[in-house]
A and B are shown apart, each in its own frame.
Chain A
Amino acid sequence: MSLRKVLVLGILCLSAIVAMGQSSMGGLTSSLGSAMGSGSQGSSDKPLKAKPREPKDTICWHGQFVGLNLVPPAKAVFSPNWGIQIQYNCNLYNRFFPVVELGYARLRETRDLADWQAKQFSQTLTTMYRGSGFYGKIGLDVPIAKKGPNANNLFFVGVRYAGATFNYEILTTPFLATYWADAYVMNIVNQHSLAHWLELVAGLRVEITPSISLGWTFTYNHLLGRTNGDMSVASYVPGYGRDENWLPTLGAWFYWHLPW
């Protein structure tokens, strides 16, 4: 199953659950929590009453979180790739969650030559990509649904602007035979590149204990621009992923609620 299909399936599941919550509890956003508490709003026996609008929160500071994305370090278990991504976000008026993220990623990938390339060489060759670099993101999340006095449980969407600076090398790169020369391989080293991109985020954060929360994020990345190396195009961008215009990624987050 392709990643895109899985994402669509996931969105459909989420929609179904949210719709289920809406129909059985008579509202989604602010009414979700109170509806679960009373348990009577969704009853078909009683006439629906217009719920009073929740007054806007006048308290600015509702706390702050430091988050760690568990996916980049977990990659080290399954592959030679790994990274670290740390997030800081704070809760303003229970409606705005400014976000800053910093990260580092190391990428290693090997690829056997395709048949149309391999037939020009007498031995089996493997191209290797090695790169690493830092990235940063800044953005804002807003809640779609929330529960608790400090938006302890949260379903949110957000946007991020991100940038990365990184170095890479591509070893055993095949250069195929031409009219003038036989096929040969070359190591392309000391390549430097910059990239910036936009992220659309949908996520979920659930409080486990008063100081710890867990969450998931679906991110759709759109590459805005990138400088190429002197002799190559970077195959991967740290914090972004493969060199594609639109790319979905997943995050699994561990959040620590700072006590001040």
Chain B
Amino acid sequence: MSSPEARLKLLHISKRYPSVVANDDISLSVMPGEIHAILGENGAGKSTLMKIIYGAVKADSGEMLWDGRQVNVSNPAQARRLGIGMVFQHFSLFETLSVVENIALVLDEAFDLAALAVRVKEVSERYGLPLDPHRLVHSLSVGERQRVEIVRCLLQDPKLLILDEPTSVLTPQAVQKLFETLRRLASEGVSILYISHKLHEIQSLCDSATIMRGGKVTGTAIPRDETPASLARMMIGRELPVCVAPPYHGPVHPVLQVERLSLASDDPFGTSLKDISLTVNAGEIVGIAGISGNGQAELLAALSGETTVDREAVWLAGEAVGHLDAGRRRDRGLVFVPEERLGRGAVPALSLARNALLTGHRQGMKRWGLVAFDKAQAFAEQCIARFDVRCGGPGAAARSLSGGNLQKFIVGREIMLAPKLMIVAQPTWGVDVGASAFLRQTLLDLSRSGVAILVISEELEELFEISDRIAVLAAGRLSAPQARELADAESVGLQMAGLFTDTDAEVSHAPA
């Protein structure tokens, strides 16, 4: 029996870092046209393995076969020449260059920028990933930056495409569209390595799966033959935790009121906010869905006070606070977890204790203008213990923590400030499955203690899991929030794409 040659075969790959074994004796093979899932939690070693394939990291031992021949990929340029394309989870884009210039940089051939811009536009539209080739990357949101990465891979006609959690920033419709694209690519013979921890995506898309945990392969499976529960067990070694939303019986009164907030963006590529109204009551979580770049950054800054607006546009516990800066709004019971953890939510070079002081100084950490560093230290220690932050203690620099652990620290710090209103952007971005469930449950419990919570997220599943009401922010407009029981992923997804069903629907295409 002659079986066709595998496109990619890995044999006994191992990679050790000083403190951790990232990959321990990993073997897998991918056939031409196969969509192969790599399933595992953050820290399971998926990204390291993919970087080894892509030549960005060198394995300590093991072999790699490409179309049956042994290859030694020593750098990404060589990987690209073989036909390996990779969309990284963390982007490698130059902020001061435009989209098309960034794409031109990784092409290993001569290029004509104008012609390339046209191609970029074509490809991006064909795959439902709209991009303006001439925008500067620094003005793009996280979601839009990922689009650039995907499009730049597709331009290189890859034979093997590696996608590292590509759907976290896409609408359900766009996910379906991407899946169609990936299936088409597969039918054309392109092999796809699809990294994810989303079980239903893997079940609907992938032909086979390799499951990793703690740097080892813990199983291989045909996803369609498995149940989510059985996949989850292989992935996290236990049952997938489920969030529970207990009913709220406390007093219901509005804590955050946004009234006809309009805001022109300073950034020429930013999104202006148009006539946004919203109420968040004590004891509930309101979720705002939408793809970043649709006014999320502007809305968050206007709510947190980093941008001040008209006095009467934002109300906090019955007081007009639109004109107050972030510090004064925090004095009145607002806390905020931003999307950017390093550099905004925390100062990278400072210790966790000093980062506790950043917003925690209101908790009796200062007296006569002098700081009580022992109190900041105790606060940080308590936060680390209560929210299971894995780190070297309160003296560890914020930048030494992994993204998920720093997020736990920041969320924990803000919760410990005993807020009336909590605003959270992307609560579980980059946080592993177990910790995500913990954070979501923490938010639910906090809301049931009478705190009003506003969550802005690109992850629809997450919003449906924790929100009492869901609204959609698209192109700077906010839809009317719907109770979760009445909302469905389909209609929310349509709204995310900018198709409001109410007043904004553009139905009049005047026939000639």
- The answer to whether A binds B is no
Q: Contact residues of B with A, CB < 8 Å?
A: none
